[in-house]
Structure 1
Amino acid sequence: MTAAALPATTRVAIVGAGPTGLALAVTLAGAGVDFVLLDRLAEGANTSRAGVVHARTLEVLDELGASAALVERGLVVERFRVRDGRRALAALDFGRLPTPHPYTLLVPQYDTEAVLLARLRELGGDVHRPYEVAKAEQDEDGVTLTMATGETLRAAYAVGADGMHSVVREAAGIGFTGSAYEQSFVLADVTMEWAPGRAEVALQFHAAGLVVIAPLPQDRYRVVATVDDAPREPDAAYVQRVLDERAPGQAKVTGLVWSSRFRVHHRVADSYRNGRLLLAGDAAHVHSPAGGQGMNTGIQDAFALGRALAEDRLDGYEAQRRPVAERVVAFTDRMTRIATTRNPLLRTARNLLLPVAGRVPAFRTRLTTELAELDYR
């Protein structure tokens, strides 16, 4: 839609058209709830960022009518393998999980957004771009959103799906408790020759830090690594050096598609609602990318919030979803700290205990269920 198409009023204003905002819009459109979805960018992002869609999210997308199209675009992987250098420590198999989707789907975030947008348009909705929300003010009867251009939108409710630096969260006066990790993270999509192959996601431990290698469609790989001080835009040679250090002799990078450096926080909003202002996705929680659960948790937030808005039971939304965020943040924080410890004694203990625990079926089932977020139904 063009900028001129902004209506004067709506029931639900959604700020941010990433996966969370799109999933919320699809949920509302399917329920016949009037909404306006706003985004400050003139077009959707074309970088891949999140690359993992877990089983519980695919179950949600089943209900939204979007899973089949996404699976067609993605790469189905059933196994995660944990190593320290060349030494295998544990293997996690998703193939026996009690779900219609017993696997992890590897797919770039722009494909997830494209599928959700196509589904939204099938239902008669769209994104209003570019509209940057500069201010959100609520009263007893509704919320007034003021754009950077001075235009206004009146809504009964406004949802912040606008990321870690949420304008809606700030307007609501909701705290964002937590802190940042000391290390920076490198994210890169590359083409490469990778000895373990494309049938698994590899979590590589090393004294210098964690590196995760996941296959993506189009013969690409996603590389995520913790580093002390990464360059702003890591090049192929930098990614190769990280892999040579942490997975020696296993990788040969042949091309760089996209890369970024970022800092990671672990935070949860003090509440998910203040009156008519609500939060979902990264506006409500951010955490380590270990396990690939950020976008997944946000899409599940959106589905729960959309149903709560449609069924007029908003009081239950925070009670349902905030404990999930606390659990995901705590789980990914533990994973990150275990994977990145540089204490020689702790590394030795970890590498001795993981193979033992990994042979226990209950441990493997518990860990795969947690990663797949199936306990969050």
Structure 2
Amino acid sequence: MPGTLPAALPATTHVAIIGAGPTGLALAVTLAEAGVDFVLLDRQAEGANTSRAAVVHARTLEVLDEIDPTGSLSAELVGRGIPVTRFRIRDGARPLAAITFDGLPTAHSYALMVPQDRTEAVLLERLRSLGGEVHRPYEVTGVRQDEDGEGVTLTTATGETLRASYAVGADGMHSTVREAAGIGFTGSSYGESFVLADVVMDWAPGPGEVSLVFAPAGPTVVAPLPGEASAAGAPGAGRYRVVATVSDAPAEPDLAFVQALLDARAPGQATVTGLVWSSRFRIHHRVADRYRSGRLLLAGDAAHVHSPAGGQGMNTGIQDGHALGRALARALASGNPGDLDAYGATRRPVALRVVALTDRMTRVAHLRNPALRAVRNTLLPLFARVPALRKRLATELAELNYR
């Protein structure tokens, strides 16, 4: 309720988690399952109410099965999304190559299209069923490790303090925890801005695939989302996510802007009839120099950010959260903080690999030289005819190499 004061923070805890997005929630659920005391804080008064990240890959669904071996957690999420088995690359309206996920060695041989707010809702429901909760709104403004290395003190914007054995920054790219730890964030940014929009439209390729559309002005991704179909009732009618690079996009792209963008890049393929939500953002590709400094640890976007190509970001973060939760449970049980070193040693190479993959995909999609585009469009269909190459890329996108 507006104006309601946040619940009082406890004085102490074993693990303080700053940031209650998908990464922080996955970490909290893992700790709750292990019986570890924690406090999960977020500066927002409410959780995500927009879709933002929109794909959950196979490895992440496997991680949810590890968190809840009954399978009910992943089943609940699948029930709120759309499983898609095909990723198709197009040049305008012309198909170039298709990557399929069915047949991969997993119980979840598909990409699950589901808005981030639904993913967060499922994780929060699980957390609450285990007796956990998010403390809102608490903005952490100070993080200080004891000189003797025995603990951490957090200070909020309203003056509360919280003592913890460990503090985890799951607080995004501009992480307060990372800054307090003095950990570098190596990388750079892309020059273009990205448009993100959830729309209702008639889309000629239909909802059975995720489409990556090449165009001289830049790449565009169109992916189906669960939601009401448009009144037109055509086979491709429904709700879709559109992500596109634009040299200078408006802060809140409107319906006319999205329609004009699709007309230019996929002529004759889209009729937009409704705009659900839109935004503009800029993308960096950066990885934290290390994931731990004493009793301060990083996960998710606080540790790595990259291009949205392939939908890897939230998935890598949820996997971070689960891996860190298990590592913290071991460290607290053994009394040896050194047990946490394996977390960074395992997860940071994954982030480096994800950043490299998404950067390659982004640069290939952004080719503007006509000769290079022609070579790309000639080679892609040839590569896609090789089963081993198709499976290799599908496995990489599904993040199954990170088991």
Cα offset, 1:4, TM superposition:
3.2
Match in the other structure for 1:257: 276
Q: Deviations over 1:242-284 (max 9, x none)?
A: 1000100000000000000000000000100000000000000
* Residue 227, structure 1, aligned to residue 234, structure 2: no
- Normalised by the length of structure 2, the TM-score is 0.93
SS in 2 for 1:159: strand
Match in the other structure for 2:297: 278
Q: Structure 2: where are the runs of 5+ without partners?
A: 228-237, 332-338
The 2-side partners of 1:94 and 1:5 are apart by 46
Equivalent AA in structure 2 for residue 158 of structure 1: A
Q: Deviations over 1:199-255 (max 9, x none)?
A: 000000011000000000013100000010000000010000110001000000000
SS in 2 for 1:362: helix
SS in 1 for 2:374: helix
The 2-side partners of 1:128 and 1:44 are apart by 11
SS in 1 for 2:172: coil
Alignment map for 1:25-104 (pairs within 5 Å):
25-65=28-68, 66-104=73-111
The 2-side partners of 1:200 and 1:4 are apart by 44
2:15 to 12, 17, 26: 12
- Contact 2:169–2:177 (Cα < 8 Å) also in 1: yes
1:326 to 339, 343, 352: 352
Cα offset, 1:356, TM superposition:
0.2
SS in 2 for 1:191: strand
The 2-side partners of 1:355 and 1:64 are apart by 39
- Contact 1:160–1:277 (Cα < 8 Å) also in 2: yes
Match in the other structure for 1:174: 183
SS in 1 for 2:118: helix
Match in the other structure for 1:337: 363
- Contact 2:225–2:241 (Cα < 8 Å) also in 1: yes
The 2-side partners of 1:269 and 1:35 are apart by 24
- Contact 2:154–2:163 (Cα < 8 Å) also in 1: yes
Cα offset, 1:2, TM superposition:
5.8
Equivalent AA in structure 2 for residue 339 of structure 1: A
The 2-side partners of 1:45 and 1:115 are apart by 12
The 2-side partners of 1:88 and 1:43 are apart by 42
Alignment map for 1:189-200 (pairs within 5 Å):
189-200=198-209
The 2-side partners of 1:261 and 1:331 are apart by 23
Match in the other structure for 1:146: 155
The 1-side partners of 2:371 and 2:307 are apart by 24
Equivalent AA in structure 1 for residue 48 of structure 2: A
Q: Deviations over 1:67-101 (max 9, x none)?
A: 11100100010001100012211001100100000
Match in the other structure for 1:124: 131
The 1-side partners of 2:300 and 2:369 are apart by 34
- Contact 2:7–2:136 (Cα < 8 Å) also in 1: no
The 1-side partners of 2:185 and 2:321 are apart by 19
- More moved, 3-12 vs 329-338: 3-12
The 1-side partners of 2:200 and 2:280 are apart by 18
Match in the other structure for 2:231: none
Match in the other structure for 2:25: 22
2:327 to 308, 322, 330: 308
- Contact 2:7–2:135 (Cα < 8 Å) also in 1: no
- Normalised by the length of structure 1, the TM-score is 0.99
Equivalent AA in structure 2 for residue 347 of structure 1: R
Cα offset, 1:3, TM superposition:
2.0
Give the total of aligned pairs. Answer: 377
- Contact 1:2–1:128 (Cα < 8 Å) also in 2: no
Sequence identity (%): 76
Match in the other structure for 1:215: 224
The 1-side partners of 2:223 and 2:358 are apart by 17
Cα offset, 1:26, TM superposition:
0.2
Match in the other structure for 1:347: 373
Equivalent AA in structure 2 for residue 122 of structure 1: S
Q: Deviations over 1:152-194 (max 9, x none)?
A: 0000000000000000000000010001101100000000000
Q: Deviations over 1:21-80 (max 9, x none)?
A: 000000000000000000001111201100000000000011223211100100010001
The 1-side partners of 2:138 and 2:10 are apart by 12
Equivalent AA in structure 2 for residue 156 of structure 1: S
- Contact 1:190–1:255 (Cα < 8 Å) also in 2: yes
The 2-side partners of 1:2 and 1:129 are apart by 9
The 2-side partners of 1:274 and 1:311 are apart by 18
- Contact 2:15–2:164 (Cα < 8 Å) also in 1: yes
Match in the other structure for 1:134: 141
